[in-house]
C-alpha cells in the first residue's frame, strides 16, 4: 500500500522544477510546513526558521533531514547488524537511509500511530527507554529535545543506551541571538508556547554553548560540523541544505558529577 501511495504521489507531483536528493523525485512543487513565527526571526533561530518550498511532497525530506541524510551517506559506514535508535523517525531517512540495510532498526515515538508508512514504531519515552545500557551503534534524535521538559534526563538516557564507540546525531533549533537558553516547562498554553518558543509544543529555545554544555554534562563528547563540511560546497545546493546549520555529532564520553551518572536500572532486551 505504501509503495502504491508513493507511485501515485510521484505521478501527481511530477514536474521539472525540483529534484529531491534523497528520493530522486522530480516534482513541479514542494511543500511549506514551517511557520513564520516572530520569535524565530527575532532570535535568529537556525534550524527552526521559516523556509518556503522546502519539503519534498514524496518523501517529506526538508533541510533538517537532508543534512542528516548527507552525513549518513557521506560520513558513516553503517555496518551489517548495527542497532539504530531513531526518535520521531523521518520517513525519508527510514526509507532511503535504513530500510534496505541489514540492521536492527528501532523507531520510537510517544505517538506511534502517526507513522502510517514506517512499520514497527514503538511507544517509548526518551527519558526512560526500555533498552539496556550500550545497546545502540547509532542514535538519531532530530529536533526532539526542545519538546522535552526534562531534557537533561533525556540526554543522559540517550548517552546510556549509546555504545562506547557509537554516534549520536542530536539536532535542535538554536537561537543565535541568545546569551542563554530560554525555557519554561510550566507554560502549557499552546499559543503562549508558540509566541515564546516558536512552536506550540516546544518548551525552550537553546543557546548554542549552553546546549553543548548540557550534552557534555550528560556524558557526551560533542563536535559541530558545518553543513559545507558534511556535504561539500556542491552538496549545499544539491541537497538543498541550510549553510548556517551545523550538525551536532555526539559520542560517549565521561559522565560528569553534575549529570548524576548513568541510569543503570534493569532493562529488558529490545523488543
Annotated domain spans of the chain: 33-254
The per-residue DSSP string of 13-72 comes to: HEEEEEE-TTT--EES--B------HHHHHTTEETSS--SS-B-TTT---HHHHHHHHHH
DSSP collapsed to 3 states, 245-265: CEEEEEEECCCCHHHCCCCCC
pLDDT score, position 194 = 96
pLDDT score, position 185 = 83
Which residues lie across from 65 on neighbouring strands? none
Lowest mean pLDDT among 106-110, 142-146, 183-187, 219-223: 183-187
pLDDT greater than 70 at residue 266 = no
Overall average pLDDT of the 101-115 stretch: 97
Overall average pLDDT of the 11-18 stretch: 94
pLDDT score, position 101 = 96
Work out the number of other CB atoms within 10 angstroms of the CB of residue 181: 19
* pLDDT band at residue 254 using 50, 70 and 90 as cut-offs: low
Asked whether 139 and 162 are in contact (CB, 8 A), the reply is yes
pLDDT score, position 15 = 95
CA distance 205 to 47: 11
With pLDDT > 70 as the criterion, what percentage of the chain qualifies?
93
Strand 104-109 vs strand 83-87: parallel, antiparallel, or unpaired? parallel
pLDDT score, position 4 = 84
Asked whether 69 and 239 are in contact (CB, 8 A), the reply is yes
Per-residue model confidence as pLDDT tens digits over 22-35: 999 999 999 999 88
pLDDT score, position 267 = 37
Q: What's the mean per-residue pLDDT of the chain?
A: 92
**pTM attached to this predicted model:** 0.90
pLDDT greater than 60 at residue 110 = yes
Distant-in-sequence, close-in-space partners of 71: CB < 8 Å, separation ≥ 6? 169, 225, 230, 247, 249
* pLDDT band at residue 173 using 50, 70 and 90 as cut-offs: very high
Class of residue 102 by CB neighbours under 10 A (exposed 0-12, middle 13-18, buried 19+): exposed
With pLDDT > 90 as the criterion, what percentage of the chain qualifies?
87
Superfamily of domain 33-254: Vaccinia Virus protein VP39 (3.40.50.150)
pLDDT greater than 60 at residue 259 = no
* pLDDT band at residue 6 using 50, 70 and 90 as cut-offs: confident
Per-residue model confidence as pLDDT tens digits over 58-86: 999 999 999 999 999 999 999 999 999 99
Distant-in-sequence, close-in-space partners of 252: CB < 8 Å, separation ≥ 6? 159, 162, 163, 164, 165, 166, 219, 220, 221
Amino acid at each position: 500500500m505504501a509503495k502504491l501511495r508513493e507511485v501515485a504521489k510521484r505521478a501527481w507531483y511530477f514536474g521539472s522544477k525540483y529534484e529531491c536528493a534523497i528520493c530522486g523525485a522530480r516534482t513541479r512543487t514542494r511543500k511549506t510546513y514551517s511557520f513564520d513565527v516572530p520569535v524565530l526571526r527575532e532570535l535568529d533561530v537556525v534550524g527552526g526558521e521559516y523556509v518556503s518550498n522546502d519539503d519534498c511532497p514524496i518523501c517529506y525530506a526538508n533541510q533538517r533531514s537532508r543534512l542528516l541524510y548527507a552525513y549518513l551517506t557521506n560520513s558513516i559506514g553503517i555496518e551489517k547488524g548495527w542497532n539504530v535508535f531513531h526518535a520521531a523517525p523521518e520517513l525519508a531517512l527510514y526509507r532511503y537511509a535504513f530500510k534496505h540495510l541489514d540492521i536492527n532498526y528501532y523507531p520510537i515515538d510517544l505517538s506511534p500511530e502517526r507513522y502510517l508508512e514506517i512499520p514497527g514504531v514503538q511507544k517509548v519515552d526518551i527519558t526512560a527507554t526500555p533498552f539496556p545500557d550500550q545497546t545502540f551503534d547509532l542514535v538519531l534524535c532530530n529536533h526532539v529535545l526542545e519538546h522535552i521538559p526534562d531534557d537533561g534526563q533525556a540526554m543522559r538516557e540517550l548517552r546510556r543506551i549509546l555504545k562506547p564507540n557509537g554516534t549520536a546525531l542530536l539536532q535542535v533549533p538554536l537561537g543565535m541571538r541568545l546569551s542563554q537558553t530560554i525555557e519554561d516547562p510550566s507554560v502549557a498554553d499552546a499559543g503562549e508556547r508558540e509566541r515564546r518558543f516558536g512552536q506550540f509544543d516546544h518548551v525552550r529555545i537553546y543557546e548554542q554553548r549552553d546546549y553543548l554544555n548540557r550534552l557534555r554534562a550528560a556524558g557526551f563528547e560533542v563536535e559541530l560540523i558545518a553543513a559545507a563540511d558534511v556535504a561539500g560546497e556542491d552538496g549545499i545546493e544539491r541537497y538543498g541544505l541550510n549553510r548556517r546549520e551545523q550538525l551536532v555529532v555526539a559520542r560517549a564520553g565521561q559522565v560528569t558529577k553534575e549529570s548524576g551518572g548513568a541510569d543503570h536500572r534493569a532493562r529488558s532486551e529490545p523488543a
